[in-house]
Amino acid sequence: MKVLLLSKVNSTHTVRWANALVERGIKVLVFGLEDLKLKENPYNPEVIIKTAGIEEPKQGGFREKVNYLKALPKLKSTIKEFKPDILHAHFASSYGLIGSLTGFHPIVISLWGSDIFDFPRRSSLNALIIKHNLKNADEITSTSITMAKEGAKYTSREIEVVPFGVDLNIFKPIEVKKNFLKNSIVIGTVKALERKYGIDILIRAFALLKAKIQSDALELLIVGDGPERDNLKELSRELKVENSITFTGYVPHVDLPRYFNMMDIFVLLSRVEESFGVVVVEAMACEKPVVVSNKGGLPEVVENGVTGFVVPAENPEAAASALKTLIMNKDLRELMGKKGRERVLRLYNWEENVSKMIEIYKKLLKQNI
């Protein structure tokens, strides 16, 4: 079987899908707009990478639509050369659009998050683009039930839920050196440092927590990099907690299990509708209790009061209260951590997720579309 993946070549999730399919004996070509920019090429050597040499637009406006359309001629020639059995577009908006315009079938379109929670809400034209793309898809998938329900506003077609699960052989509890004060409790997050992910809310919650507990043994570990880094560091100085916060900068995905295992509690306080929250699942797989905002698919992943706590978005006081409960009760932290891994084993096993996607491919090929 030959599969052409239409997606951002620099996305960790694209890398994971491409590598997983190749490991199952499928020939994979990834086509994206911009060239590979990652410091080290994380793709399996058997994965073919083709790009249009066009910068990925940062916004969903007119320029974005034009840039993606510019890639269409090269995509068509790539399809002619590669002769895929399946065209799989990740993102219902951008790559879904150029995928549907190729006229190739069978085509799978996967919903990722902003493409369905944000893009179609910006204008009636955008909503029409999503409806057009989904109408032309032979199969539609979503990473979460929450996002599938949102997608159902733009199509009457059934949407298959195939989560971006985690490799449980990699994301698991391991002993690591913390590099923090002895007996310290480490609160952590892993995310791009962008405003929409609420890292500033976490820092404010952490400052409130430090004021309540008044302990030097509380540490905040922020893993990731992005445009808000300087602003977040300035905020930590304003709140006088800079000496208790560590900014790691960019960390390759392969190294994340070590950082998750440095944490006692994982936090993600997104402002936006998270499609799924893969990092939350990765933290749960490492047996970490989690505190998340009530946005998008996060409440679907976290069983409130069982594997962690779901708190109102943009509410540092509520986040601080949930964190205090966990900090004051080690047994609860450990119990929620174990329950979290059990939930991941049951619902978000990456190997099973990949198998489900391959079955979708096989079903389409049997239909001779």
Position 134 scores a pLDDT of 98
Radius of gyration of the chain (CA): 21
Collect all residues with Cβ–Cβ distance below 8 Å to 310 and sequence separation of at least 6: 292, 293, 294, 298, 299, 302, 304
Angle at 221 between CA 219 and CA 222, to 5 degrees: 145
Domains of the chain, by residue range, sit at 2-165+349-366, 185-347
CATH superfamily of 2-165+349-366: Glycogen Phosphorylase B; (3.40.50.2000)
> Is the per-residue pLDDT at 107 higher than 80?
yes
Q: Identity (one letter) of the amino acid at 368? A: N
Mean pLDDT, residues 83-106: 97
> Which residue would you say has higher pLDDT here, 133 or 182?
133
In angstroms, the CA 11 to CA 367 distance is 31
Mean pLDDT, residues 298-309: 97
List, for residues 118-130, the tens digit of each pLDDT value.
Answer: 999 999 999 999 9
- The three-state DSSP-derived secondary structure of the chain is CEEEEECCCCCHHHHHHHHHHHHCCCEEEEEECCCCCCCCCCCCCCCEEEECCCCCCCCCCHHHHHHHHHCHHHHHHHHHHHCCCEEEEECCCHHHHHHHHCCCCCEEEEECCHHHHCHHHHCHHHHHHHHHHHHHCCEEEECCHHHHHHHCCCCCCCCEECCCCECCCCCCCCCCCCCCCCCCEEEEEECCCCHHHCHHHHHHHHHHHHHHHCCCCEEEEEEECCCCHHHHHHHHHHCCCHHHEEEEECCCHHHHHHHHCCCCEEEECCCCCCCCCHHHHHHHHCCCCEEEECCCCHHHHCCECCCEEEECCCCHHHHHHHHHHHHCCHHHHHHHHHHHHHHHHHHCEHHHHHHHHHHHHHHHHHCCC
List, for residues 8-57, the tens digit of each pLDDT value.
Answer: 999 999 999 999 999 999 999 999 999 988 778 899 999 999 999 988 87
Q: Are 188 and 263 in contact (CB under 8 A)?
A: yes
Percent above pLDDT 70 for the chain: 97
Q: Identity (one letter) of the amino acid at 121? A: R
Position 337 scores a pLDDT of 99
List, for residues 59-93, the tens digit of each pLDDT value.
Answer: 655 566 677 889 999 999 999 999 999 999 999 99
In angstroms, the CA 105 to CA 77 distance is 15
- Record the pTM: 0.85
List, for residues 350-367, the tens digit of each pLDDT value.
Answer: 999 999 999 999 999 999
Label residue 181 by pLDDT band (50, 70, 90).
low
Nearest to 172 by CA among 347, 355, 342: 342
Label residue 182 by pLDDT band (50, 70, 90).
low
Position 177 scores a pLDDT of 80
Question: 2-165+349-366 and 185-347: same fold?
Answer: yes
Position 66 scores a pLDDT of 76
In angstroms, the CA 109 to CA 89 distance is 5
- Tokens 């052989």 correspond to what residue? 169
Label residue 185 by pLDDT band (50, 70, 90).
very high
In angstroms, the CA 117 to CA 151 distance is 8
Architecture of domain 185-347: 3-Layer(aba) Sandwich (3.40)
Position 245 scores a pLDDT of 97
> Which residue would you say has higher pLDDT here, 268 or 181?
268
> Is the per-residue pLDDT at 259 higher than 80?
yes
